[in-house]
Amino acid sequence: MATTTTSAAESTETCDVLIYGTGLVESVVAAALAWQGTNVLHIDSNPYYGGSWAALNLDELKAWTDRVNDSASNNTPFSDAYLYISRNLDPRKYAIDLSPHILFTRSDLLNLLIKSRVSRYLEFKPLGSFHTFEQDSFEKVPGTKEDIFTSQTLTLLTKRSLMRFMKFVIDWEQNSSIWQEYKDEPISKFLEERFGLDAPQIVELVHSIGLLPTPKAPTELALGAIKRYLTSMQVYGNFPAMYSMYGTGGELAQGFCRSAAVAGAVYRLGTKLIGFDEATSEAELDSGEKIKVTEKIISSEGVIAGDEEITRMVAVVEKDCKEWFAEGESAAVVVFPVDTLDGNRYAVQVLVMGSGSGQCPSGQAIWYLSTQESGEQGRKYLYVALEKLEETILRESTEDFEFDVNEEEISYLPNGLPVISSVRLGESLRNFSPKESLKYLLKLTYSQKVTVSPIEPTADSKVIYTIAPSIDLAFEGIVDQAKGLYELVTGTTDDFFDVDFEDEDDDATATAAAADTDIRDVAQDKDDDVVGHHSDFEEVAGEMTI
Amino acid sequence: MHSVKRERATAKVREERRRREGGKIVEYKALVDKVLSSRNNHDYTPDALSLTTTLLKQNPEYYTVWNYRREILSSIFQTQTADTIQSQIDSELQFLFARLIEFPKCYWIWNHRKWCLQSSPSPSWKFELGLVTKMLDRDARNFHGWHYRRYVVQCTEKATGKSMVRPEFDYTTTKINANFSNFSAWHNRTKLIPRLLKEEPEIDARKLLENEIYLITQAIYTDPDDQSVWLYHRWLVTSDDIVKLSSDERKDLLEKEIKSIQELLEVEPDSKWCLQSLAFYKGLLATLTGERVESSVHGYLDKLQEIDPMRKNRYQDWKKQL
């Protein structure tokens, strides 16, 4: 609990750990430390939670663009932002996710969300539509035994090979004899040589199931990514992933901050850390206050190591894009594999968010595109992908598409299903010119630096830096990173979120009642000495029950 | 602080649990004694009925008590009007529904439900079909459900005079597409196809057979380890209830399927079902052609002894009979 000694000119606070930036990793750490009993002061220079993971409304987005383009003062991983916003948009009706991510149902992060009960602050929605851009159209990826069984396009032997591979990959770690020699070789080589898979299957597995940037990704890494998707199917239903309403990363970060506040952490938004005196262990905030930090400072602002840069694009379109969503869902993933957009070396991944995600009004959708290609090249490929998306949505949502078929062009599968020559179909689709054009309400492109390797803190360094959001579409390694930081502060990970929020046994109601009292005392204390923008948490202190 | 570190289950906590469970066992035994003595005294009162309710909630597998419950209900029904009986049965069905959710695979619950419907003045078969559909949505492989479904469909057909073969056939297709690892769904299909062919004579039986073989081949290649699909394949290849094939046509069919399975065996050399099926079909072919069984069959049976040593003797026996 941060304490205050009142003084006329300056107040000196003390905390064990000062965390600067409310990005996802540092927010997890804040909550973990707070529940363990550490006195945490958590600040952020922005007037919102989430830092580089946040979802911004349009006013915040404009301010962000200016900040990011001011190279002198920019200390975010972002740069080179070009923003176009159509007039007459209500800025508060949009939540533009700066680092869009999806959450697989089998993941450390989801387990932690449930264990920590932060999931109760969030509203999750399913994501089961994964498409690969193949031959000018979006093919839905077969991800389960049932998809493979019912597929009308895969041959029998392909079905067998795919199933054999899927059975292997579920348990791949235990079967190192099969992949050990291919460990660092490209996954495409492994799939072809070891499982006899053909190019189309390899492309789908690599890009839409593994969400990998290229088929050259090393086998060991790729197998983990592919397993992640396949084992995530059927956990909650016919979908492997989820997202949170209003922008996943920011909402998760905010959720963990809320949890941390309940556990006693103190929050201040709109507060900059302007200096740190190693000798006195005092941190100076832009308000003039000096905070004595007894243990560590964890900072997400400042050093971004490495020159690897990715390119992102956000487009808000006046189309609901429901043609791309599975029934009952409001989002989809589309991947443009390597070499499908005029020689792209890396895949372009697109996350389509419909209005059901809470990120835009109904009748619209947000397209989040990203690629590992950097600079001009990166932007070029994103624009080509954008064109393809535009063509496809206009074609699929139009009602004026006419397709003449004559009897000779139809052949029948043994089970009676008619099949039209796909060449002819492709031709017709390619020659289709939509009568309408797509209205863009917002376009944003920007670059994002990736932390290649974080700076290793020395044993006695007071300041530890976290790393920026990754370029993976899925959350990866968040919990590991948070545990790593936690260990640097406390020396162990044994009690990381090892908390009993509620006692299930009848015998323990006494303990629960005691805990309840504690919370209320804490809430009262909080009102006295906490300053700043944390109105979210005042209500939490009141409504929290055990 | 207001957080509580996780407690390990102490010996004290475990002892506490044992004590509580011991008490429950004593209570249960007393209840059983009460119910059984009540039955011996031919007690058919509503009080006796509620005793059985309490006991059956705890242990629905105790079929004697279900028998007793039926005795009580029958006795009560003797003095009641049809309307009263109907409402009694309706509450009985509600009671059973709750039991089914908890114990979906208990013979005696399904059995008692059947008895209720048979004793009901106006049973709602539509409701029963809806119920069994819901149960099969929860667990498509519950054979109790499928068996009960056949019963409900039969009664519905009797009551309405209309055949339900086509919608039931389509239902098995839906279930199979969702998960083809389902003995009951395939089994139901074998019962429905002959009837379907009889009732819809415009269907080309040969085309249907071709389609079914196409379908089952997809399943076999997708998961050759699943026994249910091989059983269905065998039925398709050997049954006379789909198409009355001539001897030559049967031979052609066998040869075609043997080839198909051999291709699968090439990529899955250790597949037990491939080997067994090939041994069986080649043996069958030899019977039809009058020729000797192919030598490859001996090879299959040897391989089977290797990969399925628990059934070694069976394969040895098989070899001897060739």
Map chain B to HEC letters: CCCECCCCCCHHHHHHHHHHHHHHHHHHHHHHHHHHHHHHCCCCCHHHHHHHHHHHHHCCCCHHHHHHHHHHHHHHHHCCCHHHHHHHHHHHHHHHHHHHHHCCCCHHHHHHHHHHHHHCCCCCHHHHHHHHHHHHHHCCCCHHHHHHHHHHHHHHHHHHCCCCHHHHHHHHHHHHHHCCCCHHHHHHHHHHHHHHHHHCCCCCHHHHHHHHHHHHHHHHHHCCCCHHHHHHHHHHHHCCCCCCCCHHHHHHHHHHHHHHHHHHHHHCCCCHHHHHHHHHHHHHHHHHHCCCCCHHHHHHHHHHHHHCHHHHHHHHHHHHHC
Tell me how crowded residue B78 is: count the other CB atoms within 10 A of its CB. 9
Q: Do A163 and B222 lie within an 8 Å CB cutoff?
A: yes
| DSSP 3-state of A94 | coil
**Shortest Cα–Cα distance, B281 to chain A (Å):** 21
Query: Which percentage of chain A shows pLDDT scores above 70?
Result: 80
How far apart CA B133 and CA B60 sit, in angstroms, is 22
- Contact criterion met (CB < 8 Å) for B214 and A413: yes
Write the residue in A148, A416, A507 that is nearest to B222 by C-beta.
A148
Is the Cα dihedral B247, B252, B258, B261 positive or negative? negative
d(CA B270, CA A6): 79
Nearest to A146 among B3, B177, B221 (CB): B177
Of A156, A500, A518, the CB nearest to B217: A156
Minimum distance, in Å, between the CA of residue A262 and any CA atom of chain B: 10
Residue A160 to residue B180, Cβ atoms within 8 A: no
Q: Residue B16's Cα: distance from chain center in Å?
A: 41
Collect all residues of chain B within an 8 Å Cβ-Cβ radius of residue A511: 4
Nearest to A415 among B16, B215, B224 (CB): B215
Q: Which of A104, A115, A49, A364 is CA-nearest to residue A243?
A: A104
- Write the CA distances from B89 to B68, B92, B94, B122, integer angstroms: 16, 5, 9, 10
Q: How many CA atoms lie within 13 A of A388 on its CB side?
A: 24
Percent of chain A with pLDDT over 90: 64
Q: Alpha-carbon distance A400 to A417, whole Å?
A: 25
Question: How would residue A457 be classed by pLDDT, with cut points 50, 70 and 90?
Answer: low
Q: B222 vs chain A: nearest CA distance in angstroms?
A: 5
What's the pLDDT at A420? 58
B7: closest chain A residue by CA = A500
Task: Decide: helix, strand or coil at residue A320.
Answer: coil
- Which residues from A are below 8 Å from B when comparing CB atoms? 35-37, 145-146, 148-150, 156-157, 159-161, 163-164, 263-264, 413-416, 495, 498-501, 503, 505, 507, 511, 515, 518-519, 522
Query: φ, ψ for residue A297 (rounded to 5)?
Result: -110, 130
CB of B217 within 8 Å of a chain A CB? The answer is yes
| Residue pair A359/A94 in contact by the 8 Å Cβ criterion | yes
Nearest-CA distance B182 → chain A (Å):
12
Q: What pLDDT, on a 0 to 100 scale, did the predictor assign at position A471?
A: 79
Residues 6+ apart with CB under 8 A from A165: A191, A195, A197, A205
Q: Do B221 and A145 touch (CB under 8 A)?
A: no
Query: Do A209 and A230 contact (CB within 8 A), yes or no?
Result: yes
List, in order, residues 6 or more apart from B277 with CB less than 8 Å away: B230, B233, B234, B261
Residues A5-40 as b/e (b if ≥16 CB within 10 A, e otherwise) read: eeeeeebebbbbbbbbbbbbbbbbbbbbbbbbbbbb
**Mean pLDDT for the stretch of residues A349-355:** 97
**pLDDT confidence bin for A406, thresholds 50/70/90:** low
**B2 touching A (Cβ < 8 Å):** yes
Q: How confident is the model at residue A502 (pLDDT cuts 50, 70, 90)?
A: low
Residue A365's SS3 state is strand
Q: What is the mean pLDDT of residues A496-521?
A: 52
Q: How many residues are present in chain A? A: 546
pLDDT band for position A267 (cuts 50, 70, 90): very high
Higher-pLDDT residue of A87, B49: B49
CA distances from residue A466 to A7, A34, A50, A479 in whole angstroms, order as listed:
34, 18, 14, 12
Specify whether the CB–CB gap between B193 and B183 falls below 8 A: no
Q: Which of B4, B179, B264 sits opposite A500 (nearest CB)?
A: B4
Average pLDDT over residues A426-438: 64
Suggest the residue from A16, A152, A156 to mutate for an interface test with chain B (most B CBs closer than 10 A): A156
CA dist A257 and A266 (Å) reads 9
Q: What is the mean pLDDT of residues A269-283?
A: 90
CB–CB contact A156 B3 (8 Å):
no
Closest residue to A159, CB basis, from B7, B177, B221: B221
Least confident of A10-19, B105-114, B180-189, B200-209: A10-19
pLDDT at B7 over 70: no
Task: Kindly give the residue spans of alpha helices, DSSP state H, lying in A337-494.
Answer: 375-397, 422-430, 478-490
For all residues of chain A together, what is the average pLDDT?
Answer: 84
8 Å CB contact of A415 and B221: no
Closest chain B residue to the Cα of A505, Cα to Cα: B13
d(CA B80, CA B78) in angstroms, rounded, equals 6
Q: Please give the average per-residue pLDDT across A507-532, as a whole number.
A: 38
Contact criterion met (CB < 8 Å) for B218 and A35 = no
Task: Enumerate residues 6+ apart whose C-beta is below 8 A from A75.
Answer: A301, A302
Residue burial A490-526, b: 16+ Cβ < 10 Å; e: rest = beeeeebbebbbebeeeebeebbeebeeebeebbeeb
Q: How many CB atoms lie within 10 A of CB B162?
A: 8
Q: How far apart are CA A464 and CA A467, in angstroms?
A: 10
Q: Is B262 on the interface with A (CB under 8 A)?
A: no
Which residues on chain A are in Cβ contact (under 8 Å) with B6? 498-500
State how far the Cα of A351 lies from the Cα of A330, in Å rounded to an integer. 11
Instruction: Sort out which chain A residues have CB atoms less than 8 A from B210's CB and list them.
Output: 414
| CA nearest to B216 within chain A | A149
Distance from the Cα of A258 to chain B's closest Cα (Å) equals 15
Helical packing angle, B11-40 and B46-58, nearest 10°: 140
* pTM, two decimal places: 0.81
What letter would DSSP give residue A102? B
CA-based nearest residue to A312, from A475, A469, A133, A438? A469
**Per-residue CA distances from A336 to A139, A213, A345, B52 (Å):** 11, 10, 11, 65
Whether B256 and chain A come into contact, CB under 8 Å, resolves to no
Instruction: Kindly state the tokens that stand for B301.
Output: 């049976």
Burial (CB count <10 Å: 0-12, 13-18, 19+), residue A59: exposed
State ipTM: 0.85
Q: Is B6 on the interface with A (CB under 8 A)?
A: yes
Can you tell me the mean pLDDT for A90-114? 95
Query: Got the DSSP string for A180-229?
Result: GGGTTSBHHHHHHHHH---HHHHHHIIIIIS--S-TTSBHHHHHHHHHHH
B209 contacts on A by Cβ (under 8 Å): none
pLDDT at site A5? 45
| Among candidates A164, A263, A415 on the partner chain, residue whose Cβ is nearest the Cβ of B211 | A415
- pLDDT at position A137, please? 81
Give the least confident one: A310-324, A432-446, B190-204: A432-446
CA-to-CA separations, A526 to A25, A523, A539, in angstroms, rounded: 24, 5, 12
Q: Check residue A400 and give its pLDDT.
A: 56
What's at B278, amino acid-wise?
L
Judged by CB atoms closer than 8 Å, whether chains meet at B2 and A163 is answered as no
Q: Indicate the pLDDT class of residue A139, thresholds 50, 70 and 90.
A: confident
Strand A130-134 with A266-269, pairing:
unpaired
What is the C-alpha R_g of chain B?
A: 27
Residue of B6, B177, B178 lying closest to A500 (CB–CB)? B6
